[in-house]
Amino acid sequence: MPDIDNFVQMAYVSNPLREPILRSAIQALQFPSGSRGLDAGCGIGLQTLLLAEATGPAGHITGLDLSPEFLDRAEEMVENAGLSERISFREGDVNRLPFDDDTFDWAWSVDCVGYAPIEPLPLVKELARVVKPGGSVAILACSSEKLLPGYPLLEARLNATSSGIRPFVKGKKPESHFLRALGWLRDAGLEEPTVRTIAGDAYAPLTDDLRSALIALFQMRWPEVESELTQEDWAEYQRLCLPESPDFILNHPDYYAFFTYSMFHGKVAK
């Protein structure tokens, strides 16, 4: 399972960047204490733990993912945290959620629904289907970042590569881009659609955890870009973005980066 193991390692290492943003999102949503929620596309369950913390001892969170390997890791982590009675996991596809109508008080999805290269509207409709009238649906995904301060042209060129725009693909309809999700919520029949941008940052001097997280983020954002860059840009990328380089940008005493998540939210009609 080399790919699975690599994903899991990257998820753990990059979590110091992601967790504060997700905590802010959960706080903004104000899930009721004791409520039952769905974490669609839960991965290895890092955000599922945060949701269980927010809903308290009487709440219950169901994490759903297609990957049994991810769910095995998630179940192990939840058991170690002593939260097995408050969190359960289910293997399944967000396209066809294995739950009855009106099962949950709310549903949310991070870096999954609307962020994968498939049509988003059916996924949003599925989330709305399993939420009780008056409940809420929230979808979140990373929406921007500035990681190479002082090198805007290089960063723009990296972000214009196939890896840089992933999971989106050239030729995809503008309406399918994640930042058009307000329209998906309306088309799915959700009421009071809103969006909120939540920012995180990192700056020198970096802790060891943040440094490792940023290195992982560089690797996830711009893999296999050499063929789409000029020789000059590729040399500059290697100079600035590889940890073994003496000019590695994270070593700069004035390093600063920021990144944002966008959270789209709507309510199921009563």
What CA–CA distance (Å, rounded) separates 236 from 177?
30
Domain CATH for 206: 3.40.50.150
Q: What average pLDDT is seen over the chain?
A: 94
Q: Region 55-61: what's the mean pLDDT? A: 97
Q: Residue 171 pLDDT more than 90?
A: no
The whole domain housing 7 covers 2-267
The side-by-side arrangement of strands in the sheet containing 36-40 is 87-91, 60-65, 36-40, 104-110, 131-146, 256-267, 191-203
Mean predicted confidence (pLDDT) in 51-78: 96
Beta-ladder partners of 265 = 138, 194
- What's the CA gap between 174 and 107, in Å, rounded? 25
Q: How confident is the model at residue 166 (pLDDT cuts 50, 70, 90)?
A: confident
What's the rounded mean pLDDT across residues 161-183?
86
Mean pLDDT of 207-231: 95
The residue with greater pLDDT, 71 or 163, is 71
CA distance 134 to 181: 20
pLDDT at residue number 69: 94
Q: Which helix (H) or strand (E) is 232 found in, with range?
A: helix 231-241
Give residue 116's pLDDT: 66
What is the average pLDDT across 174-192?
95
Mean pLDDT throughout 86-113? 96
Task: Give residue-wise pLDDT tens across range 232-246.
Answer: 999 999 999 999 999
What dihedral do alpha carbons 202, 205, 211, 215 form, nearest 10°? 70
Residue 253: what pLDDT?
97
Q: What is the pLDDT of residue 245?
A: 98
Total domains, the chain: 1
Phi, psi for 166 (deg, rounded to 5): -60, 140
**What whole-number distance in Å separates Cα of residue 51 and Cα of residue 157?**
37
Q: Alpha-carbon distance 109 to 92, whole Å?
A: 14
Average pLDDT over residues 14-42: 97
What's the pLDDT band for 50 if we cut at 50, 70, 90?
very high
Dihedral sign, Cα of residue 24, residue 28, residue 30, residue 31: negative
1 — pLDDT class (breaks 50, 70, 90)? very low
